[in-house]
Structure 1
Amino acid sequence: MKKAIAPQLLLLLITLVAWFSIAAQFSISIPILLAKGMTYGEAVWRMFGYLTILTNVLLAVCCTLLLLKPDSTPGRFFSRPGVLTAMTLYIIIVGLGYNLLLRNHAPFTGLHRLSDEGLHTVVPLLFVLYWLLFSAKSGLQAKDSLLWLIYPLAYFAMAMVRGGLSGFYPYPFLNVIQLGYPRVMANAAMLLMGFFLIAMALVAIARYRRQDLAID
């Protein structure tokens, strides 16, 4: 009985922290963007220019469906070993990227600090724990790592197109105006390699544990 309850409780905790942190981030940032002359639609569009927001919203939807509608078509999709492992990869990158590269650029306090820690530290740690302990891991192969790279590649392409049209680049290491295309492309290549290496590590962990070692 305890084994059946444990994953649900962890999913509930991740879901609550994720949605709270996302809502808090929007409640803080949208008024600031509106004060700069943006429309509400432009402000929301700007928020979804951040990999952190995109990934946390996607993960929050995933956990909500696994918690409330696991037998629905979307719920079955998100429960696939490959999808859950991809989600784990993406949220690890969000956590590592912020804590290794961006933390010193964001000396936030109060609710903003709470939201930032939720999105970049608490949710990543909790979801990795969920994946390690409760996610099915059968059938994962090294070639899956290449498929999982579509998401960061698509994000990079979107960031470059948006930046070229508006001059807005969500992260300093992607800022073509300040760094130039050669440096940004080199940064992107290094980050993509990081994605791939972490993906391969997750596949190796999954092979070690196997589905029969996951806690149902």
Structure 2
Amino acid sequence: MNVTTPRVSLPAALRSLIRRSQQTTPVRAVPLARAAWLGAGTLPLLGCLTSFSIGASKATTPIPGVSYRGGFEAGWRHAVNQPAYFTWMSNALVAATSLTLAARREAPSADSFWAARTAGLGSVMITGIVYNSVLRGAEQGTALYRFNDTVQHIVNPVLAPLVWALFDPRGQITGRRVRLGAAIPLAWATMTMARGPRIDWYPYPFLDVARLGRRTVGLTLSGILAVFLSMTASLGLLDRRLAG
């Protein structure tokens, strides 16, 4: 028996907006697309910059139950440690690639750029999922911290893929670029696990090797990488769907 799967169509207004925004996007960025990329790049950039300010004024947060005892006092050492967080890395990738698209007259064509773009999109979505399902706790007191927390963990994980779907040129997320992009979170994980025992500190409690064991932490990181590959591959499928 043949089963026909119904096609899921986008709303007419959304399809029209996508067509208008992308008719010239592969070559020349239209003003609406440029404004969207500018906004989608400026917000994570502000998130990354305010992270430095927060690190300079606030020590690492003690986490109950972890075995590691290292950390950073408020000051420049904690400020320059901010890129060690997956959240910072993912938002920085989105900021850099979005602002590049906003600034250029023509969309980049290099594999390296689109691998970084793909890595940023996949990583920032993982940031939103992991933070809001596992790590989210009590709100912090300062307005700056609340702004930083909201932008990096709630707004950007939704805004970045939305702007990509509406305005990025189609056909750029390929299997090769997904694999190249996966090298970025893999490098982050490798550096984090190599650095952790030396400074007796990890950016997240689920990386606590002494308490959880190498096998458990390895499986956790493998699971995160698998989710990353699945999500970026899904973006590639959606990319081809939108192109059609």
Normalised to the residue count of structure 2, the TM-score between the two structures is: 0.73
Equivalence map 1:25-44=2 (5 Å): 25-33=51-59, 37=73, 40=76, 42-44=77-79
Preserved contact between residue 51 and residue 79 of structure 2 (Cα < 8 Å): no
Q: Supply the distance in 2 between the matched residues of 1:206 and 1:43 (Cα, whole angstroms).
A: 39
* Letter in structure 2 aligned against 1:183: T
More helix by share: 1
- 1:208 corresponds to: 241
* Superposed CA offset, 1:89-145 (max 9, x none): 1221122221122113x5324221111110112122111111101112215434543
The count of corresponding residues between Structure 1 and Structure 2 is 205
Q: What runs of 5+ residues in structure 1 fail to find an aligned partner?
A: none
| Cα gap change, 1:112 to 1:78, in 2 (>3 Å) | farther
Runs of 4+ in 1 over 6 A off after TM superposition: none
- 2:5 corresponds to: none
2:77 equivalent to 1:45: no
* Superposed CA offset, 1:144-181 (max 9, x none): 43332211111110000110211110011111132121
- 1:191 corresponds to: 224
SS of residue paired to 1:27 = helix
Q: CA RMSD in A?
A: 2.7
Query: Which of 172-181 and 16-25 deviates more?
Result: 16-25
| Cα gap change, 1:165 to 1:70, in 2 (>3 Å) | farther
- 1:21 corresponds to: 47
Preserved contact between residue 173 and residue 236 of structure 2 (Cα < 8 Å): yes
- 2:68 corresponds to: none
2:196 equivalent to 1:170: no
Alignment partner of 1:127 out of 160, 176, 190: 160
| Cα gap change, 1:70 to 1:31, in 2 (>3 Å) | farther
> Shift of residue 68 of structure 1?
2.4
Larger Rg belongs to: 2
Query: Which of 191-200 and 162-171 deviates more?
Result: 191-200
> Shift of residue 33 of structure 1?
3.8
- 1:12 corresponds to: 38
Normalised to the residue count of structure 1, the TM-score between the two structures is: 0.82
> Shift of residue 10 of structure 1?
1.2
Q: Supply the distance in 2 between the matched residues of 1:39 and 1:165 (Cα, whole angstroms).
A: 20
